[in-house]
A and B are shown apart, each in its own frame.
Chain A
């Protein structure tokens, strides 16, 4: 049998993974709250001299974790999110006008990322019809229901977090840490995946892969995962 030389997307370090990120770029960050965020990439970006970033992420982290780290260093010019304000610094910057914020319905955010990675420039959705979200957007009626036109989103870099990955960039997520990661992986010009377990191509069960490696340009194993829980809730026995 012929042996193949396989594509290898592994990078040696988080610094190599984020190389090329510059001021004024548009970045996507997977995750829901603090669940499934690219902790290592965010930490590394917060140490770089990069600013005026537009960040697309469902949420904006907390004061000292996740995207809150970039906010604290005033690296973010604009946030595009569905739900924010779990941190004081965010609120302060937003109310003082230092930070521009665009709030969009969560399903619209997900679909705009999916569309951006899928060659669909725009789509109609019912979410936001008749609300402030509809302002300046085209409205069309289909089957007697009203819909608004929403445009695809793309990014210079997408930072996603998966549970397992292989050297080809194939990814498997765990639990609800999947959320926006597969969609943002598709929408990045350069998609960086950080994983807890990195294995040689061929070791993952091909039936179980969530994100095909074609959407990923760089992959590395994250050093440490704090995996902070935002709202620890238990059943008292």
Chain B
């Protein structure tokens, strides 16, 4: 069975390393915050200017002056800190953020990512994505394996305008966990009930199968 968005987020949460700073993008990445393992301490950064972002507020406690990069109302945790956008991107470009989780429309086997523009359609902009992908130490992409037309989002080369060059380290989809290596995509985990063959057929690029191929534990 293909994973739900929440299950993709849950699998990515297993990648969180103790005592690190993490930026979560809009969409599936935001859900990762709901699945942080109990023995892991991380601080979430939102590029509009907060480190130590907490959960969404209870009804009636919303503060228009406290939002995340998706413009959602949030709360702050004890020890949280606020800053301006230049300081925020100093944290990002300056490699102070350890992990960045982003959504994507396409990822290429060399780690190129496309997630900001579909030519001919309304272009909303890249927001902070181009800064995030050029600089974070570790970039994990959270996305469905194929698009709505059933086409693979994992490709030899991106066909959409790219957001960053050779930056993605790992992809977690509804079907698999795939690492980007110098030899391209490497399948390391399959979703429960999903066959290797199904993943190969859903991937529009060469796929190396890891010797220790596992089934995801969620």
Contact = CB atoms under 8 A, between A and B. Distances in A.
Contacts of B88: 107, 110
B173 interface: no
Contacts of B131: 105-108, 125, 127
Contact of A107 (B56, B70, B92): B92
Interface in B66-118: 66-74, 82-86, 88-89, 92-93, 112, 117
A102 to B, nearest CB: 10
A183 B124 contact: no
Nearest to B48: A32
A90 B49 CA distance: 26
Interface in A179-214: 179-183, 210
B62 A110 contact: no
The interface size bin for chain A is 35 or more
B1 interface: no
Contact of B56 (A110, A128, A235): A235
A108 B134 CA distance: 12
Contacts of A236: 59
A14 B124 CA distance: 32
Interface residues of B, number: 52
B21 to A, nearest CB: 16
Interface string B42-67: 00001111100001111101111111
A21 B45 CA distance: 37
Interface of A: 32-36, 58, 81-85, 91, 94-95, 101, 103, 105-111, 113-114, 125-133, 163, 173-183, 210, 227-237
Interface of B: 46-50, 55-59, 61-74, 82-86, 88-89, 92-93, 112, 117, 122-131, 134-135, 161-165
Given A34-B64, A108-B130, 10 more contacts: A58-B85, A106-B128, A106-B131, A110-B85, A130-B112, A176-B65, A178-B49, A178-B82, A182-B86, A183-B85
